[in-house]
Amino acid sequence: MHNKASITPSTSPALVISQEALHHSVNTLNYLREKSGCRVLYSIKAFPFIPVLQWLKPHIDGFSVSSLFEAKIASEVVVKQQGIHLTTPGIRPNEIAELNQLCSHISFNSVNQRQLFDRQGEQTFSAGLRINPKLSFAADQRFDPCRLHSKLGVSVDEINRHSFNGLSGLHIHTVFSQSDYAPLLQTVDKLQRQLGEHFSRLAWLNLGGGYLFNTIEDHQLFIDLVLTLRHQYNLQVYIEPGKAVVGDAVDLLATVLDCFDSDGKMVAVLDTSINHNPEVFEYQRQPNILQNDPQGKHKAILVGSTCLAGDIFGEYRFKQALKIGDKIHFPQVGAYTSVKANRFNGYNFPDIYWLDSENLQRLKQYGYDHYQEHWLAG
């Protein structure tokens, strides 16, 4: 393992992708694949950076996507036959022809969305339906696809009324950052009780993402579940993790631009901001930093450099008082950071580096051109 504190990209702020951490995620997923026979898709919504997709390609069974653009970017790396699986509540009528061409599997979010394609002649993908199993596990409704009045999937209580004709698979995705297989077992058990009689007419079942496989020690429950589904119903079983693949594999490094006292507390302004990790603000989470020392005598509030008063990472403790030029290292922020990042106030995106066992190499630098292109007419 690299000593993270010694990673020093030459520009700041910087996102650093660790090949070693990607290997670690892929090893866990490979273990699941080998023991259970499940197929693994990388859910690219977490971080669709093409070099990451290319690196992952030989280790996985395809990509899971949630829009036409994601399908297109996946198709830069794999062909349809290598697996491009789409599910979204938002297929637009003018995208049907292209999605038909690009995707190997589409799990429709509703009966209406499925009918959009029925009217369009020959389908060249395997059609599935996203099911809402109506079993909630997330305490926070914002993360709960099974919340009341959910927009995600056809209710398991309704589906018996719809025909399984022409359907090859079912899709579920109901949890968020889970480190325990109990929700999966309960959900599949409910599906088996309500829909099990139809399972043997299907070719596949997609169990979605939401599980942090690296944080789970004993995978036997998962392995047994997949083996049962495969052998009892002859189903191909897919999982589509996002965060479990890239979450631990990308760190954000920033630099202190300014330090001053504000009403008796030290405030340190960084050359990054919550623009680069919007979930900090969205969910009011305090991210970890490597420099935090719970015993440290020096406190500082780390803030971003935008005009938003609430652009705050939180208060941390340090061994030494922070000073201008110090580095701040946010570990394990690979999932849902870059994809949600924005350039509020005109601040640029971080450069992106790739760290392998020998080198730290810059792969991407956004410049003013990119920003200007965004705001030019045309």
Q: Which residues bind ligand PLP (CB under 6 A)?
A: 43, 46, 64, 87, 173, 208-210, 240-244, 335
The three-class DSSP label of residue 335 is: coil
Name the residue nearer to ligand PLP (CB basis): 167 or 335: 335
Nearer to ligand PLP, 128 or 350 (CB): 128
Rank residues 65 and 253 by Cβ distance to ligand PLP and give the closer one. 65
C-beta of 239: minimal distance to ligand PLP in Å?
9
Smallest separation, CB 307 to ligand PLP (Å):
30
> Based on CB atoms, which residue is closest to ligand PLP, 245 or 274?
245
CA distance 28 to 22: 10
Sign of CA dihedral 347, 348, 354, 359: negative
59-67: long-range contacts at Cβ-Cβ below 8 A with a sequence spacing of 24 or more? 59/26, 59/29, 59/30, 60/26, 60/29, 61/33, 61/238, 62/104, 64/206, 64/209, 64/240, 64/242, 65/103
Residue 220 CB, shortest distance to ligand PLP, in Å, is 21
Give kind and range of the element (H or E) at residue 350: none
Q: 336: how many CB neighbours lie within 10 A of its CB? A: 19
CA 326 distance to own-chain centroid: 30
What's the rounded Cα separation, in Å, for the pair 295 and 62? 46
Is the CB of 16 or the CB of 212 nearer to ligand PLP?
212
**22 token code pair:** 């990607």
Instruction: Compute how many other C-beta atoms are within 10 angstroms of the C-beta atom of residue 245.
Output: 31
CB 246 to ligand PLP: min, Å: 8
Q: 3-class SS at 271?
A: coil
Smaller CB distance to ligand PLP: residue 212 or 322? 212
Which residue in this structure is represented by tokens 């899709």?
171
We find the least distance from the C-beta atom of residue 145 to ligand PLP, in angstroms, to be 7
61 vs 240 by CB, closer to ligand PLP: 240
Minimum CB distance to ligand PLP, residue 336 (Å): 7
